[in-house]
Structures are given as structure tokens and as C-alpha cells.
Amino acid sequence: MTAVIERRILHAHFHLPHGARPDLYEQLLVLAQEITPRVQAIPPDAAHLDITGALRYWQRDPEGLAALLRLRTLALHGVQTTCAVAPNRMLATMAAAVTPPGTSTVIEQREVEQWLRPRPVAALYGVGPATAGKLRTYGLHTIGDLADTPIPTLARLLGAAAGRALYAHAHGQDPRTVQTQPLPKSLGADRSYEHDVLDPAEHRRALLSLAEEVAARLRDERQATGGLALTVRYSDRTSSTRSRTLPEATVHTRPIATTAYELYDQLGLQRARVRAISLRANDLRPATEASQQLTVDPVDDRALAIEAVTDRARTRYGPGTLRPATLANRTKQASRGIPGAKSSLPALPPPGRNRP
């Protein structure tokens, strides 16, 4: 009988520097494809590599091939990479989340159960904060607890489909394969914090800032977005992602910000220790394909008028010239000198004197 070949999936997390050039991620994907042609992009900074066949070609074990990828990304692009190798995509992603930056973790098939069972249920693929909280209320605190729970019980708690899926995940099962496909056209922005941020109000300010930046870039590049993806990273280096297809393609800040808020609310975060938030516009298309429905709402009309003025100011004076009051620097007084006033505008030179 022919021996069954054990799959080996490598999850690579590229630690892109802040303000990295836009094409750096694509260059890292090309480098990964030189190791194996079976590479699936996971924007904005990760990828899955099916290295099952590459091990024999390179005559290396999984740890050696991961070391080769880390060496090349660092030597050629100055980017540190965290790698994890496991029998499937789910396990590789989970292992990468708890691997120290710039190092590698390898999980063999015989080690899967021992590695999974003691981990918190919130670390399991498919378990968001709300589901984790519900499971904990029923005494299911670890993945081992979940694995020992009968499927009918999980179906009553979570629904039939979700119960069966989480039961399979708790036993280390994930049938998904690495899908090689062109990198989808997208653009995005992110905000990272030097410390844990628990305040939802600060999170929403970041969302508004991200929506403004993404929408401005779309208009500058004459592109429209058909979908949005929101990713929130936590202090333990795990993350949650929510995405949505928009009812119509748009280039405007207001619908992008509204959708970003709704995606954030779906996460059900409660006192989460957030370290970074990113917003990505997907399914890009020419801006001419974006439709703008007629409206009799004066709020929408004002938003579009303000957006046009902001674009002109940004073109002339640079980014951040005009900003919503929510994002304004509260420590600055208005440039007109009104006592106690706050301003979202930077001080501009008097008319006719050294103006750009």
C-alpha cells in the first residue's frame, strides 16, 4: 500500500516595518513562491505555504525550510518573519500566534492533541470573543474541554453547524487546502499602539481615522471599493477579522466609516487589550463604477460637501489639514485666538505671506 503523505503547512507572518513601501508585501510573496509554488496570500502581512512537496526538493526538514524563509526575508528585504509549521492551516495559524517574533514552531501530527488541549478556548479558530464568553459560562474553558463535549451538546449551545465545526477544530481537524490565487486588489491602513488600549472610544476614533485615510487614498487613486475587512490585533498577538461586501461600490468616507463601526460592533469586544487596528478596502474597481444614489438627506449632502473641501485642502496643504473634531488635537487652541476654542485645523500663515 502507498504510504499517506502527511501535509505540512507553513504559516508565515511578515513583520512589516511601519510605513513600508506598498509593494513590499508582494515582493515577500514572490520570495515565498521561490520556495514552493503553493502560496496563499493572507493580506496584509501573512501567507500560507504548502511545503509538503518542497521538503524533498530542498532536502530539508520543516524547521530547516522555515529557517530558510526567515533568512531570505531578513537578508533580502530586512523583514523579520515568524513561521509555524503544522499538518493543516488552522494549526499553523494558531501556532504562529504564540510563536516569539522571528522564530519558528513545528507541530508534528502526533503532537497535535497534546499541544491543543491545554490552550484557552478563545484561541481556537472560529471562536470569537462572544462565543468564547458563552462557552466559558458553561464551564468550557480550554480546547480540551470543548473536545470532550459531545456534538449534540455543542449543537444545542451554538447551533448544529457551528457545534460540529468547533468540535472538529477542537480535535485539530481542518480540511481547507492552500489556494493559490492572484493577490486581490486592495489597499488599507493600520493604527498600532505602544501599549494595550482598552477604551472603546479610542478604538472608534482609530476607526474614523482609518476610514478617512482609506477613502482619501481611494479618491486619489480613482478607485472604488466593493468590500471592507477589519482586523483587530490583541496583546497576546492573536487577532480577529470581520469582512463585508458593500451594497454598492463607494469612494466616500461616510459609508466606509459606518461599515467599519458595524464590523467593530460584530466583534463584541469587552475590555479587550487592543494593540493594533487595520482597515482594508477590497474588491477595488475604477471609481467610475461607483454609484452615488440621490438623497434628500441634508446630512449626506453636507458630508459630501465637506469631503470635497477636505480633498482640496489636502491637495494644497498636505494630509491632515482638515480633520473631524473627534480627531482634532484637543491641546491646541484655535488659530483665531478665541479663548477656550478647539480647532481641527493646523495654524496657517496669514494670506499673502509665505503661503505655498
Convert the pLDDT of each residue in 177-209 to its tens digit. 998 877 667 788 899 998 999 999 999 999 999
Helix axes 253-267 and 200-220, enclosed angle (nearest 10): 140
pLDDT tens per residue across span 10-57? 999 999 887 677 789 999 999 999 999 999 998 778 999 999 999 999
Mean pLDDT (the chain) is: 83
Please, which residues bridge with residue 49 across strands? 10, 39
Mean pLDDT computed over 166-173: 95
Tell whether the model's pLDDT for residue 349 goes beyond 50. no
The CA dihedral of 291, 296, 297, 298, to the nearest 10 degrees, is 110
- Give Cα separations from 162 to 125, 153, 177 (angstroms): 12, 11, 20
Q: What is the model's pLDDT at position 288?
A: 74
Q: What is the model's pLDDT at position 342?
A: 34
Choice between 132 and 305, residue whose per-residue pLDDT is larger: 132
Q: What is the model's pLDDT at position 328?
A: 60
| Lowest-confidence pick of 35-39, 147-151, 335-339 | 335-339
